Structure 1
């Protein structure tokens, strides 16, 4: 049994030995690929914010969650996850659905469409489209122009060309050590990609589900 475990660990480490963006290995990203000996390489990214968040409870489709900030990086969430298999949404999504995607190992790129122009959006879109465990959506009026989230992790890049974006994706997309539900699918047949549950910009009321 020990030999089998050792072989599996070695295979995983070999598969993560080189960082990849858009399917191409880059030496500059090698140090951000998760491995048995470096399970959360994102901690080496300047400006990264990490918070210990236990796997979230489920809420109904009509419940709000009192997330401490928008966009959130974990917590209670809707039982349905937003499809996160390389989907670029043109509409703002209900946050409770997206947080469930983070629990499955997805990286979520959120941006304010009033402050991130078409050229920057195209740069970000190329990092997401048809990439497993990736999704992107606008949040009008969010505090920062651009923000990346995975479960318990958040990064606010300077712009779409910020090199830390690729570091974040390599370190945390489908990372089995930081994801509460490693191996969970990002395909979501019951989630309407064309007309998803909409984002509610109003503050959660007193009946909102608490974070703890």
Structure 2
């Protein structure tokens, strides 16, 4: 296993801002600004976990992620292209997490529980939008899960206003991800045939998540 450490500071914390409550009528989060730096904490149901010292691995190595879907920690040296890509195949976690490090928002959905109309509605929010990507995630315990670096929000309804609030608060928020200004373009990443998602537990000797 080849681990390439990079520098990132943080403390270990797992928190839920508040209970999920009703999915209707939640006001959009304000645009990120220096005060406060992480306005996403106002979104009901959001999860936050800090990861310290994330680093890189290379295929076929894996990371022993502690969350599903993961939203921080060690990741592959190659990021999944995240310039408004709607993947039709489930994509390897390690590549998707690297996209989050660049400031992207990843919308994952359970293809068995989210109706086709819901998939289409979410795809409209992603297609062609810089720093957005979307993919199916088999076995997901909710129909929808949104990820940005160190942040996650699981939902049932594609019309839930918290989706837009999450994106507004966290996409390219320079205060909430390690690499502001990093690109989402990756010509070497095959968008039509990306590395496959592996639902099995990471084997012994995999890189620790870095929490």
Q: TM-score, structure 2 length as denominator? A: 0.85
Unpaired segments ≥5 residues, structure 2: 1-26
* Distance (Å, rounded) in 1 between the aligned partners of 2:156 and 2:138: 18
RMSD: 1.0
Check conservation: 1:55, 1:103, Cα contact below 8 A. no
* Distance (Å, rounded) in 1 between the aligned partners of 2:155 and 2:115: 15
Say which SS state the counterpart of residue 203 (structure 2) adopts: coil
Corresponding residue to 1:168 among 157, 166, 169: 166
1:55 Cα shift?
5.0
Corresponding residue to 1:207 among 199, 202, 205: 205
By percentage of residues, which structure has more helix?
Answer: 1
Unpaired segments ≥5 residues, structure 1: 1-27
Corresponding residue to 2:38 among 12, 37, 40: 40
Comparing 35-44 with 75-84, which one deviates more in the overlay? 35-44
* Distance (Å, rounded) in 2 between the aligned partners of 1:105 and 1:111: 20
Aligned to 2:156: 158
1:79-115 Cα offsets, whole Å, 9 max, x none, are: 0000000000000000000000000000000011000
Comparing 157-166 with 92-101, which one deviates more in the overlay? 157-166
Paired positions, count: 184
Check conservation: 2:91, 2:197, Cα contact below 8 A. yes
Aligned to 1:118: 116
Relative to structure 1, the CA distance from residue 110 to residue 55 in structure 2 (aligned partners, 3 Å threshold; closer, same or farther) is farther
Structure with greater Cα Rg: 1
Say which SS state the counterpart of residue 166 (structure 2) adopts: helix
Aligned to 1:71: 69
Say which SS state the counterpart of residue 123 (structure 2) adopts: helix
Aligned to 1:181: 179
Say which SS state the counterpart of residue 114 (structure 1) adopts: coil
Corresponding residue to 2:82 among 81, 84, 87: 84
Runs of 4 or more off by more than 2 Å in structure 1? none
1:45-91 Cα offsets, whole Å, 9 max, x none, are: 00011111235210011111000121100110000000000000000
* Distance (Å, rounded) in 2 between the aligned partners of 1:91 and 1:55: 30
Say which SS state the counterpart of residue 85 (structure 2) adopts: strand
Corresponding residue to 1:146 among 131, 144, 147: 144
Check conservation: 1:55, 1:180, Cα contact below 8 A. no
Check conservation: 2:142, 2:155, Cα contact below 8 A. no
